[in-house]
Amino acid sequence: MLNKRNVVILISAIIVVWIGSLVISRIMVSDKNPSRRYAGIILGEESDKILRRACFNCHSNETEWPWYTSMPVISVLISSDVGEARKHLNFSDWESIPEDQRIFYLKMVFKEIEQGEMPPFIYKLGHPEAKLKANDLKTLKARASSLGISFDSNKNSN
């Protein structure tokens, strides 16, 4: 049986572990959103709204961090996922990406959307607004095509 002394020790240990994990998560996740933002145009107003809704929360410096991302362990896991996403493609750096790489990234984005890889299923569970509608990819591709980006692998792209 637990006596009063053991209960106090147990509660104290839980508090120490919680505070310790909170401090560690704050150290490991120091800057959630770097200051650089992209205010320009990627594909155009309508298409950019789709990209912002479905992609920017992980693939830019404009991540909206829900309350649960300040919890220890969860904070580290989600920050790590966002950091990985930004390494692959960060729309906040769009202006500094050379034109040929931008085209490559757009084609990669469209391919991953078509294959159902982006946005990830687990992300869409907590963020239903990020789910792409049937017409969204069509809108994105049509706009990219109007800018001269070819999706035919036999042709040279812009």
- Residues whose CB falls within 8 Å of the CB of residue 142, separated by 6 or more in sequence, listed in order: none
Confidence of residue 156 (pLDDT cuts 50, 70, 90): very low
**pLDDT (tens digit per residue) in 60-93:** 999 888 888 877 778 888 888 999 999 999 999 9
pTM, two decimals, is 0.74
Residue 155 has pLDDT above 50, yes or no: no
Number of independent structural domains in the chain: 1
Q: Would you say the C-alpha torsion 38, 41, 43, 49 has a positive or negative sign? A: positive
94 — phi, psi (to 5°)? -50, -45
Residue 15 lies in a domain: no
Residue 106 lies in a domain: yes
Which is higher by pLDDT, 40 or 8? 8
Which is higher by pLDDT, 33 or 64? 64
Q: By residue range, what is the domain housing residue 62?
A: 31-146
**pLDDT (tens digit per residue) in 86-108:** 999 999 999 899 989 999 999 99
